[in-house]
Amino acid sequence: MELLSIDFLGQPLRLEGSMAGWQQVFWSNTLVAQQAASADHQDHYVHEFQLNQGESILTCRLEATVTWQPFLIEYRAMVDGQLIAEGSRNTKDIEQQVPHTPIKAERKFSLIGLVSLGMKALKSAKLIKVALASASIAAYSWLFSIEFALSLIACLVFHEYGHIRAMKYFGMKTKGIYLIPFLGGLALSDEKINTRWQDVVISIMGPFFGLILSLILMVVYWITGEMFFAGLAVFNAFLNLFNLLPILPLDGGHVLKSISFSMNSKLGITLCALAAVGGVILSYQLGLALFGFLLIMGSLEIVFEWRARHHSHLLPLDKYGQLVSAAWYVGLVSSLIGIIWYFASSGDALLQLPMQILGT
């Protein structure tokens, strides 16, 4: 990830690095110094290199002291022993930076990713939004009813609006919400995230808004006694619970990956694996077989991507951020399951359906 970018002799000097100790220094996009990852690396780094300035050869030195949890980098840049730049950067600075080098997109095939790419390529955003929303209503009306279609669209929009609010909180420019028939919705932004915390908050705010909507619908059901609101509350809870499954590219997959990839040790991934095993055992004890099976698949995907974690451009979560993210995720999952369980205990066959699906 990009740790530092400053003006140095009229050209940008950029420092890239990872928690494993790997660092590279670029001057005007030319690699001038580097250090390999090491298990016994120190927090203080010294990069020495020479630059040609006309007929002169300048001896340059960049010193950097990096603390990862919480993140803080203090730096000093010198030329021929003379200090020309110094300062510090923290998490807030990383969140607001624009990466100098473009972030390479994942090469994995993803239908949602292809749709997202197609949306970004289209210029007539408002027209496309209306067209896709109309197509979604028509598709869901054909499968179910117009009432159900409109209710489903409302749930999807409320969920995606949670993502949009989180993006705006971090000062990101958004392109709005796109409804994709049979695939749900997408909240798009023109900007890239820079930290794991941004990834967690943006990902989890969709299901969090979904939980709020289900609670509102539950209260409306208690007041009116209309089964329509009860059905919508439990269906919306199930929809958002599905989004929290720890499988990429679902919201839960982003949260779990951000937490596990921020633990820069074998102990971290071991604890993550033990937590996943505990979740699987609890799922089967509660009769949530489907949830347990998908938890296994999501955990395997996290393990496979663990090896490449040091090449990520995202600033990892500190220990406090890891605990808050995990507690937020577990609390949200528990609350949504609680809503589904509450309505399943009513004895109504339709309201019991989501719980029966979880227990399949």
Q: What is the mean pLDDT of residues 40-49?
A: 83
Q: What is the mean pLDDT of residues 86-111?
A: 66
pLDDT reported for residue 3: 86
30 neighbors 46 (Cβ within 8 angstroms): no
Cα–chain center distance at 330 = 16
pLDDT reported for residue 21: 74
Instruction: Give the predicted TM-score (pTM) of the model.
Output: 0.69
Is residue 30's pLDDT more than 70?
Answer: yes
pLDDT reported for residue 145: 60
Q: Where are the domains of the chain?
A: 2-96, 123-191, 215-359
Exposure string (b/e) for 154-169, b if CB count within 10 Å is 16 or more? ebbbbbbbbbbbbbee
Nearest-CA neighbor of 359 among 238, 205, 233?
238
Q: What is the mean pLDDT of residues 27-47?
A: 82
358 neighbors 293 (Cβ within 8 angstroms): no
pLDDT band at 136 (very low <50, low <70, confident <90, very high): low
Q: What percent of the chain has pLDDT over 70?
A: 66
pLDDT reported for residue 109: 45
CATH architecture of 2-96: Beta Barrel (2.40)
Is residue 311's pLDDT more than 70?
Answer: no
For the segment 139-165, what is each residue's pLDDT rounded down to a tens digit?
A: 555 555 667 777 778 888 888 889 999
Nearest-CA neighbor of 278 among 239, 234, 326?
326
Q: Which is it for the CA torsion 230, 233, 235, 238, positive or negative?
A: negative
pLDDT band at 123 (very low <50, low <70, confident <90, very high): very low
CA-based R_g, the chain, Å: 24
Is the model more confident about 115 or about 335? 335
Nearest-CA neighbor of 8 among 63, 84, 74, 70?
84
Is residue 48's pLDDT more than 80?
Answer: yes
pLDDT reported for residue 108: 46
